[in-house]
Chains A and B, each alone.
Chain A
């Protein structure tokens, strides 16, 4: 069925999640296998998740009580800058790339990525970009101007430590890796699908990664250009953003958010794809409105490039600009909202299995709806004028990045863990982790909406003891510690599953897509032969021929025909 791919790699590989096999660590370091690189991406994300989480816990200790002196202001400012930068660039981005690199070839019936060596290069340069960023702590100070590093605060006269130089170089390096992976994924999806897999038969996850790749290819150049310009300002006395020398403070914001807003969708579209798979399989039904889900993904990716100024409504740019971006930002709420109802429709009428993955997916629906709705308050310009740059934003962005992206990623991680490791995790531990994490998450961030409404700006290292501030900040900090505790449970869960987990078998969830056809973990060569594809659920067709989609005409397959 598929052409064997000749690849410059050893005969034997270690596609599993353990390194204690005969070829050892060196095999992983030299690997160009997409499964190993995918797992390394995920491990990198996990490592930085713990580091970034630790930074956040230190911040929450400082904010436990008003007028606290646990951290000096410059230390706090470095911590929140590194926390944001780490979570966006070195947790969420590698996590989605890791899942994509691991799963896309499997789901489209390929044995490798289109460019396996480029794949390895991308991973390693991203990893070293992150390590270089962290080296700044030893080199005289971490970046301290926030993850979006506004000009002119990012200039040498206002931030004299080399932190921001490391920020530029670290993000440039990892950005190069991200762009290369995106190109690699797009080419892989275009050229390496099993011949009978038409675009309309691609799994939703593959569709989302496909769309995402173009988003990355279009958005990251703006960031990379801005970083290069900033580096020129700092190292060669350029004047792009140096207002003291006639540069423009707003130019940086335009370049950064032209990347920054699409980045929000870059890290949320693949989780949308993950959730679409998770909802389908655990509800025992096909996705509700496949063309809708894919189409709204495309709509989001196009609109994503026309909404960046909603980060800048308070910069005084005038009504014409503000009105345009208010309208576009509200419009992007429609395709995003539609998806929530698609997933509800997928669950409706199903036979829902509440595994840990499904619990995260279900909780996602609530958390992401809260995050999406609070996001609309920033499209409504006058409300944005009140709430932007307050703790309300902090609450909103965590509901989107955690409640949206991370919950989706956790759902996917539990869903695919048996495939990646070949072992089942403990549902009991999974339940503990889920409930601790969800309760901790909502305690931490829900109250921050209120803090913003009662006037607390974001990025303050301490606050006066105004009524309400102390109690709400204390609640938020306690929630953060609870999340920290849940992450320890998560770590133990992983250890326990790898050590003692039952063998998973090829298809423990009765999954629908090609990755469930091969062994768990998959061998170096994913497939030798594949059945032909007649729907977006080829393995379901194979395992349930009596109710398989392949029998149906297309309009019924996609729900474009009314069903009574």
Chain B
């Protein structure tokens, strides 16, 4: 239950304001080797930029104070240039450009070398408005809350099912567009276990704002357990009410968009629901995954997340209740 614990900790542990700050999804808090390289480059750049800005502002303040017009001023000396100054004006920026050119090319080659043609560890697909992750070599398919192992160099393949999306988890390094018709890749070597926030960063339509990512990074053995569990088919349904929900689910068109492995539902348009109840949030980070929110969503999806692809089915209340019981049992 390692994964559950770390997500639990993340969501419910009491913490001070400073601790909350430390969880901010920021490129300045790298948790991967690649993000680390980018963070140091960012630091060098910030220092250089602040230096330039300080020089400009300093000069400007001096000039403004020193050369402010005073009553009775005659026309000042009409000089029009100075070769030495102009030489510096070009020379210093050129030098800076050369330094940063080298650093850029070096970091680029390090952070994102070409895809070596090996099998990816994870295939990530952007959908309007949720993320799908599958783990090649296993049967595991999950949505939005994506687990990755710590301490191993991972190859991520990034695709899109409809429009362009963009995978971005600041603590893990570069973002990468998910473009329909193309497969992009990223390399990630996570160094610290934890839960990392991210979000779709290419405008993709009505609910671009609620296409958030949670990456749960955990030690290799925990991760293996997790994948093994996610690769299993859905739990057998126990309670009578959940069984009624299962029957309702298969009678209705739910299965033409959603997949529940081990049942007849094999749709690939919406998120895989095989282990739906083990997710802590629903609707790509919009709300906590609990029966009340689920009931609200199934009653009127377009009210909860307007523009999402889930249509409003006008079901009676008790049908929705058994459906909620069924989905909540899919641990």
Contact = CB atoms under 8 A, between A and B. Distances in A.
Contacts of B83: 559-562
B79 A315 contact: no
Interface in B92-148: 93-94, 97, 100-101, 103-105, 107-109, 111-112, 114
Interface stretch (B49-57, B226-234, B243-251, B260-268): B49-57
A326 B104 contact: yes
Interface in A514-548: 544, 547
Contact of B41 (A330, A382, A458): A382
Interface in A266-290: 283-290
B201 A457 contact: yes
Contact of A373 (B52, B170, B173, B307): B52
Contacts of A195: none
Contacts of A369: 52-53, 56-57
Interface string A452-471: 01111111111110111000
A376 B185 contact: no
B76 A349 contact: yes
B90 A463 contact: no
Interface residues of B, number: 93
A331 B97 contact: yes
A243 B78 contact: no
Interface string A17-38: 0000000000000000000000
B205 interface: yes
Given A73-B307, A153-B203, A455 B181 contact: no
A431 to B, nearest CB: 15
A385 B81 contact: no
Contact of B80 (A380, A381, A556): A556
Interface stretch (A113-121, A386-394, A499-507): A386-394
B56 A382 contact: no
Contact of A459 (B41, B57, B203): B203
A333 B103 CA distance: 17
Interface in B248-280: none
Interface string B179-199: 111101100000000000111
B295 interface: no
Given A152-B180, A382-B111, A348 B53 contact: no
A452 B143 CA distance: 25
A454 B25 contact: yes
A286 B78 contact: yes
Interface string B199-211: 1111111111100
Given A330-B101, A366-B56, A382-B38, A338 B89 contact: yes
Interface in B9-50: 17, 20-21, 23-28, 35, 37-38, 41-42, 45, 49
A285 B76 contact: yes
Nearest to A282: B69
Contacts of A373: 49, 52-53
Given A330-B101, A344-B56, A362-B64, A467 B23 contact: yes
A401 interface: no
A4 B223 CA distance: 84
A238 B173 CA distance: 38
A348 B100 contact: no
A353 B197 contact: no
A211 to B, nearest CB: 19
B24 A351 contact: no
Nearest to A290: B80
B201 A390 contact: yes
Given A73-B206, A334-B90, A386 B45 contact: no
A315 B82 contact: no
Interface residues of A, number: 101
Nearest to B185: A316
| Residue among B53, B83, B112, B164 having the largest count of chain A Cβ atoms under 10 Å | B164
A146 interface: yes
B254 to A, nearest CB: 23
B108 to A, nearest CB: 5
B81 A290 contact: yes
A288 B108 contact: no
A549 B85 CA distance: 21
Contact of B166 (A374, A389, A549): A389
Interface in A321-350: 322-323, 326-327, 330-331, 333-334, 337-338, 340-342, 344-345, 347-350
A558 B200 contact: no
A457 B199 contact: yes
A323 B182 CA distance: 21
Nearest to A562: B83
A145 interface: yes
A153 B173 CA distance: 26
A234 B122 CA distance: 35
A228 interface: no
Contact of B82 (A322, A338, A547, A563): A563
Interface string A402-433: 00000000000000000000000000000000
Given A153-B205, A331-B97, A340-B56, A386 B27 contact: yes
Contacts of B60: 344, 347, 362, 365-366
Contact of A323 (B23, B94, B108, B162): B108
Contacts of B85: 341, 345
Nearest to A369: B56
Given A158-B163, A382-B37, A316 B201 contact: no
A337 B94 CA distance: 10
Contact of A74 (B74, B163, B197, B206): B206
A461 B209 contact: yes
B38 A386 contact: yes
Nearest to B34: A382
Contacts of B90: 334, 338
A559 B97 CA distance: 26
B63 interface: yes
B209 A462 contact: yes
A150 interface: yes
Contacts of B75: 284, 351, 544, 547
A466 B25 contact: yes
The 3 closest A-B pairs by CB, nearest first: A559-B81, A455-B25, A385-B174
14 contacts: A150-B203, A153-B204, A248-B181, A249-B164, A249-B181, A323-B104, A348-B67, A354-B68, A373-B53, A380-B100, A380-B104, A382-B41, A461-B209, A463-B209
Given A159-B205, A319-B108, A382-B37, 4 more contacts: A250-B179, A287-B80, A341-B89, A458-B201
